[in-house]
A = this chain, B = another copy of it.
């Protein structure tokens, strides 16, 4: 264990392999934080976004925050109730993608998958940006460098995930409970100070008046309705992450569905309590925030002010704990950490969804098999690049990012609820038992309410936010689904082209071995020996005459070594290696088309990627090019340099299962019987 492993273990607890994770069934008290960080963390920015949007209507706008908050809470409870049905019906953890595909067909599944993929990127971008915004209350030097800070955090998360950090229960439990308890204590203590002690708590921005955009000043009219709709849509960001539990049912202790449903209800209640508590306290302490990009501004005694405004959470913590600074830092730190944890869940969820999509042929197939670190890495890097691009493009501005965010969540909610309706209808056709029928009918009604509700929200979101950014989210989803469809059709075409119908089993008559040689050394010798060991019909070594002097030396040494294999020198007028070899091999194939040519390429195995840049590049190009000649196999014969042990050590450390030999006795790997 080296130092960085030690630090990681210290920070993140003992690493669990994916297999271990699924074997460790989670009790509810651990499952809640593991799956709730995403959903709970969104209460750190949802109230801000509601108040920000309302600020465009000036001081009077804030009056509506109560109503918006209650409406969001209502939708949250409806969604929770609906997903409790999903959890019972699909305990396999397939999530919305499975529900949509099974009940509504592949196109609906693809729609949900695109929405989820885009949303993972936005989860990272929004959560990290919000974490940085919140951190500013305690770390003012971040002001003006939000995008840079957010990008650095994303890169760090990427690095941790590339190194193979998996969430362990306790890592999630501590900050999630800290955040939950911290916020609830803050709300409780704030209310107690106001109502119990009769104090007058005033937020740092209480004395500022907000002047909104003149368009929204008249309180009747379509513009105001639009604004309220938009505030509500932004507030619905609080719902993101609720569906996470429905993907995680297999990780719960038995009875799985029951426990998952109970946890879901608990999560919903806590989230609603926190959201409403924050909005209540923000109203009571007169927290004023503003959407300065929308044209709102502060005045103090009628004079325009240009001040920096902290997040609602930061302002509340500073106000409630005005006499106890450590608690303020505790709230800010917990908020920041839970937001980063929420971003981290996307880094775990994205490859898992990718794996399921790969299984169904919508994504490169190698993403399907878990544990192949390299394959998962691609997903992690892609997610990080997209999130950094968003954060930089939108300058880590949560208010701008949130305009793109809610669309995907509600597309996924709506399609999933529609799928559940179908599910119950289909099962009701077959079910005879009256008790179960009535239970199903009850579930169908709940999902119908869920569908109506989420569908309505989706329409509201689309209408109120389309020009503000929702169009970008839709466009991204469209692009993602087009690419996935293309991938699927490509795989189908290849499967048709390569399908075996029984013919084509003629054995090539002879194998002609060609060993590519540039100098006489141990790797060359090994390649020659291995080629000879495979007893080809004929064998020769081949070298290109790039430098006449070197070639002469090689010929002499070859003669002296007396390997029993002739060395053929081919001309290379342009001092080229690849072209002449290619040409020669093609000629060979042409003269005896029923034979197969096997080209042996000695390859140096090194321990570090930078050493790799100095070796084998010619072999790599040669292999790629030779592949375009039918009937030619390319065999690489490795020669391990001493430095390769560094790479072997590293691989053993990362993936002990594949490298460690089993002690003694019977062979470790047995053919597995499949008659079960």
List residues of chain A with CB under 8 Å of any chain B CB.
17-19, 364-366, 368-372, 374-375, 487, 490-491, 494-495, 497-500, 504-511, 520-526, 529-530, 532-536, 545-546, 548, 551-552, 555, 561, 563, 568-571, 573-580, 582-584, 586-587, 590-591, 596, 598, 600, 603-605, 611, 613-615, 617-618, 621, 623, 625-630, 632-642, 644, 647-648, 651, 655, 657-659, 661, 667-672, 674
Alpha-carbon separation in the docked complex, A584 to B18 (Å): 22
Report which of B374, B576, B583, B658 forms a contact with A669, defined as CB distance below 8 A.
B583
- The smallest C-beta distance from A204 to any residue of chain B, in angstroms, reads 41
16 example contacts (A-B, Cβ-Cβ < 8 A) are as follows A370-B575, A371-B574, A372-B576, A372-B618, A498-B521, A498-B639, A499-B521, A500-B524, A508-B533, A530-B633, A582-B658, A582-B659, A587-B667, A625-B651, A630-B640, A633-B637
Q: Is the CB of A603 within 8 A of B587?
A: no
Chain B residues contacting A587 (CB-CB under 8 Å) are 661, 667-669
Query: For the complex, what is the distance from the CA of A520 to the CA of B499, rounded to whole Å?
Result: 8
Task: Please determine whether B372 and A578 come into contact, CB atoms closer than 8 angstroms.
Answer: yes
Majority secondary structure of chain A interface residues (helix, strand, loop or mixed): mixed
Residues from chain B with a CB closer than 8 A to the CB of A672 are: 545, 569-571
Q: Are A499 and B511 in contact (CB under 8 A)?
A: no
Please measure, in the bound complex, the distance between the C-alpha atom of A636 and the C-alpha atom of B507, giving whole angstroms: 17
Cα–Cα distance between A629 and B600 once the two chains are bound (Å): 17
On whether the beta carbons of A563 and B505 are closer than 8 Å, the reply is: yes
A40 to chain B, nearest CB (A): 31
A591 touches B534 (CB 8 A): no
**Chain B residue, CB-CB nearest to A645:** B628
Check B633–A633 contact: CB distance below 8 A.
no
Complex alpha-carbon distance, A487 and B638, angstroms: 21
Among the listed B507, B611, B661, which residue makes an inter-chain contact with A529, where contact means beta carbons less than 8 Å apart?
Answer: B507
Residue in chain B with minimal CB distance to A634: B636
Residues from chain B with Cβ under 8 Å of A604 in the complex: 494, 498
Cross-chain contact B505 with A521 (CB below 8 angstroms) = no
Task: Decide: B511 and A533 in contact? CB cutoff 8 A.
Answer: yes
Which of B617, B633, B648 sits near A366, CB closer than 8 Å?
A: B617
For A523, the chain B residues whose CB sits under 8 A away are: 498
Given contacts A17-B574, A19-B574, contact A642 B568 (CB under 8 A): no
Q: How far is the CA of A142 from the CA of B322 in the complex (A)?
A: 55
Residues in B with CB closer than 8 Å to A655 are 579
- A623 to B551, alpha carbons, bound, how many Å? 31
In the docked arrangement, what's the CA distance between A652 and B507, Å? 30
Distance from A19 Cβ to chain B, minimum over Cβ atoms (Å): 5
CB distance from A17 to the nearest CB of B (A): 7
Q: By the criterion CB–CB under 8 Å, are A603 and B627 in contact?
A: yes
Within 8 Å CB of A661, what residues of B? 586-587, 590
Interface contacts beyond A369-B577, A506-B529: sample of 16 additional A-B pairs, CB < 8 Å, sorted by A = A365-B617, A494-B615, A497-B522, A499-B522, A500-B525, A504-B525, A510-B533, A534-B534, A534-B535, A571-B669, A583-B668, A587-B661, A603-B627, A627-B640, A633-B636, A633-B637
Query: Are B640's CB and A591's CB within 8 A?
Result: no
Given A529-B507, A627-B636, A658-B582: A494 in contact with B369 (beta carbons within 8 A):
no
Interface centre among A17, A534, A582 (most CB of B within 10 A): A534
Residues B674 and A598 in contact, CB atoms below 8 Å apart: no
In Å, the complex CA distance between A532 and B596 comes to 11
In the complex, residue of chain B having the shortest beta-carbon distance to the beta carbon of A603: B627
A568 nearest in chain B by CB position: B671
Complex Cα distance A132/B632, Å?
A: 51
Q: Are A576 and B644 touching (Cβ within 8 A)?
A: no
Chain B residues near A600: list those with CB within 8 A.
633
